[in-house]
Amino acid sequence: MMSPTVPTMTNCADLRSSRRALRAEQATVQWWRRLVQARLDLAVAAAAMPASLGEELAVLPMPAGWVEPPSHVELRRATRGGLPLAEASRLPVLRHLDERLADYERCVGAALAEVTEELIEALAVDPARLLAGPEAPRPI
C-alpha cells in the first residue's frame, strides 16, 4: 500500500486547497466503498436466503395486536428476482476491493489529518498575518 506524502506547506491557501482536495477524495472513496459493500450484500443474498420469519415464535403465545410476518414464499419472490447465483463467485473479488478501498481510505484520512494539523499550526504561529492577507480564509 502506497502512502501519500503530504508536503509540508506554510502557505495557508495551499493548506486549505490541499484540505479541500483530500476531503473530496475522502468523500469519493467512501462512495466507492458503499457501492462495493452493496454489491457484497447482493452477492451474499444471491447465495443464501435468511430463515423463515416467525417459525421459532409459532409455539409462543403472542400479545394482542401481534402482526403476522410476510410468508417466506412472498419474501423470496419479492427479493430473489435479479440475483443470479453467479453473484456469489464475485465475493472474493469484492472483498479484496473493499479491503483495498479501506486501506486507501485510511491513507486519505491520515493525509487529511496531517494537512489539518499543519493548517492549525500555521494559524497558531501568526493568525493575524495569515487571516488578514490576500489568502483570507474561505470555508474549508
pLDDT tens string, the chain, 140 residues long: the values are: 444 544 444 588 888 999 999 999 999 999 999 999 998 888 887 777 788 888 878 777 878 888 888 888 888 877 776 666 677 788 889 899 999 999 999 999 999 999 999 988 888 887 776 665 555 555 55
* pLDDT for residue 10: 55
Cβ-based burial of 105 (10 A; exposed 0-12, middle 13-18, buried ≥19): middle
Contact call for residues 36 and 101 (beta carbons, < 8 A): yes
Domain parsing of the chain, residue ranges: 12-50+77-132
* pLDDT for residue 66: 82
* pLDDT for residue 18: 94
Query: Measured between alpha carbons, how far is 134 from 140 in angstroms, rounded to an integer?
Result: 16
* pLDDT for residue 140: 56
Cell numbers 419474501 correspond to 75
Cell numbers 473530496 correspond to 24
Per this entry, what is the length of the chain?
140
Query: Measured between alpha carbons, how far is 89 from 91 in angstroms, rounded to an integer?
Result: 6
Query: Measured between alpha carbons, how far is 19 from 42 in angstroms, rounded to an integer?
Result: 35
Cβ-based burial of 26 (10 A; exposed 0-12, middle 13-18, buried ≥19): middle
